[in-house]
Amino acid sequence: MPEEKLFPNNKPEPWQEILPVLPTNLRRLISGLPQPVLAQLEEIRLRQDRPLMVGQAQNDAFVSPEGQLLTLPAGAYLVSGEDIQRTLQLVSGASFYALEEELRNGYITLPGGHRVGLAGRAVVEGGQIKTLKNIFSLNIRISREVIGAATPVLPFLVCRQGICHTMLFSPPRCGKTTLLRDLIRQISNGVPDLNLPGLTVGVVDERSELAGCYRGVPQRDLGARTDVLDGCPKSKGMIMLVRAMAPQVVATDEIGRQEDVAALEEILHAGVKVLFTVHGSSLAELAGRPALAYLFRLNVVERFVLLGRSRGAGTIEDILDGKTKRSLWR
Amino acid sequence: MLKMAGCLLIMSAGSFAGISLARNYARRPEELRNLITALQMLETEISYTATPLPEALGRIAARCDKSIAPLFFKAGEELRAQTGCTAGEAWETALNKFYAISSTLPSDLAILRNLGTVLGISNGEDQCKHLRLAREQLKGEVITAEQQAAKYVKLWSYLGLLGSLALILLLY
């Protein structure tokens, strides 16, 4: 199906967008990697006094001081405390004071929708995480927009009322968010080949991952009829969106807490279709989580989509019917 | 005729040297006061709106007195260029350029340099504490700068002229 982008953008390569947050010596090492590696680069991991590591679609590798890829950590470039401190300063745009909320959550969103996960020592006050200090571990995750990722799935999700209540599930790093993002975009723009008119989509983006909002402005194309509620807790945001923006479809990432399921239950019965993702590798595993077990008992989800990495991130392993739990895929 | 021209040259050079030294003394308290106001603005940007530093520095450069604007403009520009420098390094570069064109003294420079080492790397509360400390220290410098201005502005402007006259008499 020919894909016409509604918001054409001539952006640099995703890996180029994260270079400005790296100190110059690391910039040189990363940008010197072979082109095929850069094209598949998923994450860059910096841990103080540990080897510099890059994560690709299929495997992890270490980087030598000469910019060569190594499979074993021996001889790799050791990330110094200075590297970590400089990266942190660059990631924060020299403004740690502007990121207090982000530090509490343990990640920072960069322009372009990429994110930097942080680990260090948590400062706890009254049972709540106040901030992180002594940060010694960073994971720069490169976010990719895969236009057309949802094309093979979409025919299974379209029904007479528009689209089905759908749950996407997989272990981490299998492309749930990427698939959900493209689903939102296609549903929002409409798919004439499937007789799917464009639907108004409300997105609750608690972790700024779907729309990749940077200072409130979505960095990702989520379609023409999409409203994004950025940084809002899912449980509150879903209900807020239904009341405020009258969406036909509500989409959100990583449902799992009791209050998320309660909010989901409320909007499932409000004539709104829902699209959401969950961490897990099988339906049986999901049913073992109390909040999700309750959701399964409600028996309202119409399609389950399982993702995996058997043929790279984003492989669609199975699509199940919600009622019969029978496979519709192949 | 040649002697007359030489005398004139010595006199104008002497008075110019005197006046520019006097002007430095007169300008310093003014610049320090402007710096204090600008740091107050920076504190507001950080504590109330949590404006990111590159943007905050740019805004202050646009609003503050033009005698000190280059400091904030240059530091903001360095950070926006994303060359990989930290806030401290950007501030240092801007400070060195500013010092060369301003009337500030090494003691003022030391206060501003100290501020640069902490700029942007801690939470809002901590940033405000450091900004307040720098302002208090600069206020102390304003007092000495004013005392020195009262003492030396007139002295140097007269000394330049009179010194050159004395030299002319000696040479004759």
Q: Which of A179-188, A208-217, A288-297, B59-68 has the lowest mean pLDDT?
A: A208-217
φ/ψ of residue B88, rounded to 5:
-60, -45
Q: Which residues contact B87 (CB under 8 A, 6 or more apart)?
A: A89, A94, B53, B75, B79, B116, B119, B120, B121
φ/ψ of residue A321, rounded to 5:
-80, 140
Q: Name the percent of chain A lying above pLDDT 90.
A: 47
Out of A128-137, B110-119, B145-154, the most confident range is B110-119
pLDDT bracket for residue A320 (50, 70, 90): very high
Would you state the structure tokens that stand for residue B94, as one six-digit string? 């801007």
Specify the CATH number of the domain A154-321.
Answer: 3.40.50.300
| Rounded-to-10 torsion of CA A215, A264, A246, A144 | 40
Contact B101/B115 with Cβ under 8 angstroms? no
A3 pLDDT above the threshold of 60: no
Stretch(es) of chain A classified as CATH 3.40.50.300: 154-321
Give the span between the Cα atoms of B36 and B25, in whole angstroms.
18
Contact B32/B147 with Cβ under 8 angstroms? no
pLDDT bracket for residue A10 (50, 70, 90): low
**Helix extents (H) in chain A:** 14-18, 24-31, 35-40, 81-91, 100-105, 154-157, 176-189, 234-245, 258-268, 283-287, 290-298
Inter-chain CB proximity B53 and A24 less than 8 Å: no
pLDDT at A6: 45
pLDDT bracket for residue B94 (50, 70, 90): very high
B112 pLDDT above the threshold of 90: yes
Instruction: Considering only the beta carbons, identify the residue of B54, B86, B119 that sits closest to A86.
Output: B86
φ/ψ of residue B25, rounded to 5:
-65, -35
Inter-chain CB proximity A94 and B87 less than 8 Å: yes
- Smallest Cα distance from A84 to chain B, Å: 12
Give the span between the Cα atoms of A319 and A305, in whole angstroms.
4
Contacts B60 to A, Cβ<8 Å = none
Contacts B120 to A, Cβ<8 Å = 89, 92, 94-97
Instruction: Compare all CA atoms of chain A with the CA of B83 and give the residue at the minimum distance.
Output: A20
Would you state the structure tokens that stand for residue A286, as one six-digit string? 């999901």
pLDDT bracket for residue B113 (50, 70, 90): very high
Mean pLDDT for A166-173 is 90
Give the span between the Cα atoms of A199 and A223, in whole angstroms.
10
pLDDT at A4: 46
| Residues A243-274 pLDDT 10s | 999 999 999 988 888 899 999 998 888 889 99
Instruction: Compare all CA atoms of chain A with the CA of B43 and give the residue at the minimum distance.
Output: A97
Contact A271/A240 with Cβ under 8 angstroms? no
A224 pLDDT above the threshold of 90: yes
Stretch(es) of chain A classified as CATH 3.30.450: 14-141
| Residues B22-59 pLDDT 10s | 888 889 999 999 999 999 999 999 999 889 999 999 99
Inter-chain CB proximity B54 and A94 less than 8 Å: yes
Contact A188/A222 with Cβ under 8 angstroms? yes
Give the span between the Cα atoms of B141 and B150, in whole angstroms.
14
What is the enclosing helix (H) or strand (E) of B167? helix B124-171
Q: What is the DSSP string of A125-141?
A: ETTEEEEEEEEEEEEEE
Instruction: Considering only the beta carbons, identify the residue of A89, A92, A97 that sits closest to B46.
Output: A97
Give the span between the Cα atoms of A147 and A63, in whole angstroms.
30
Residue A205 CB neighbour total at 10 angstroms = 25
| Residues A108-158 pLDDT 10s | 888 878 889 999 988 888 888 888 888 899 999 988 888 888 999 999 999
Chain A interface residues (partner B, CB cutoff 8 A)? 20, 22-24, 27, 86, 89-90, 92-98, 100, 131
φ/ψ of residue B39, rounded to 5:
-70, -30
Mean pLDDT for A18-25 is 92
Closest CA to B121 of A88, A36, A235: A88
What is the 8-class DSSP label of residue B26? H
Give the span between the Cα atoms of A222 and B131, in whole angstroms.
42
pLDDT at A130: 81
Q: Name the percent of chain B lying above pLDDT 90.
A: 63
Give the span between the Cα atoms of A84 and A90, in whole angstroms.
10
CATH topology of domain A14-141: Beta-Lactamase (3.30.450)
pLDDT at B155: 86
| Residues A72-118 pLDDT 10s | 999 999 999 999 999 999 999 889 898 888 888 888 888 878 889 99
Inter-chain CB proximity A93 and B124 less than 8 Å: no
Q: What is the mean pLDDT of chain A?
A: 88
- Smallest Cα distance from A101 to chain B, Å: 11
Instruction: Considering only the beta carbons, identify the residue of A90, A97, A98 that sits closest to B84.
Output: A90
Q: What is the mean pLDDT of chain B?
A: 91
Mean pLDDT for B101-124 is 92
Give the span between the Cα atoms of A110 and A91, in whole angstroms.
7
Give the span between the Cα atoms of A186 and A96, in whole angstroms.
37
pLDDT bracket for residue A49 (50, 70, 90): very high
Collapse the DSSP code of A76 into the 3-class scheme (helix H, G, I; strand E, B; otherwise coil) and give the result: coil
